[in-house]
Amino acid sequence: MNAIAAQPISSRRLTLVPLSPGHAGEMAALLADPDLYTFTGGSPPTRQELRARYERWTAGSPDPEVSWCNWVIQLRSPQCLTGTVQATISTGDEPAAEVAWMVVTSWQGQGIATEAARALIP
């Protein structure tokens, strides 16, 4: 289990909600746009693939010095999911955090990824 667990985080327009396998259905529909994978490669995951991925992520890193914190990005108005943000936190000899995000095509260009990433850094 993660040493550091994802907690809800609020910002001006967003709530970062700890990701769960239950988000797979809604997120699979949002991530179905092939344009999302133009630069990163791959293809849209099925609902089952996404659920399995989210189960692995929520189970946590096998390395006790690494925590995987994952959130869905929820816009407050209109209330809808717009993507995901994640932090991989290493607490070993050289503590570090890596942040990554994916915002669905229809919500890109509106500062959502920037706001979500900034919300992670107090």
Domain containing residue 86: CATH number? 3.40.630.30
Does residue 58 fall inside a structural domain?
yes
Total domains, the chain: 1
Which range of residues forms the domain containing residue 45? 9-120
95 lies in some domain: yes
* pLDDT at residue 32, as a whole number: 96
17 lies in some domain: yes
Distance between CA atoms of residues 105 and 83, nearest Å? 9
**How far apart, in whole angstroms, are the C-alpha atoms of residue 67 and residue 30?**
26
Asked, for residue 3, whether it belongs to a domain, the answer is no
Question: Is residue 2 situated within a structural domain?
Answer: no
* Cis bond upstream, residue 78 (ω within 30): yes
The answer to the question of residue 1 being in a domain is no
Model pLDDT, residue 81: 98
pTM of the model: 0.92
Taking only the tens of pLDDT, the chain with its 122 residues reads 457 899 999 999 999 999 999 999 999 999 999 999 999 899 999 999 999 999 999 999 999 999 999 999 999 999 999 999 999 999 988 899 999 999 999 999 999 999 999 999 87
What is the spatial distance between Cα 23 and Cα 57, in angstroms, rounded to a whole number?
12
CB 112 within 8 A of CB 94: no
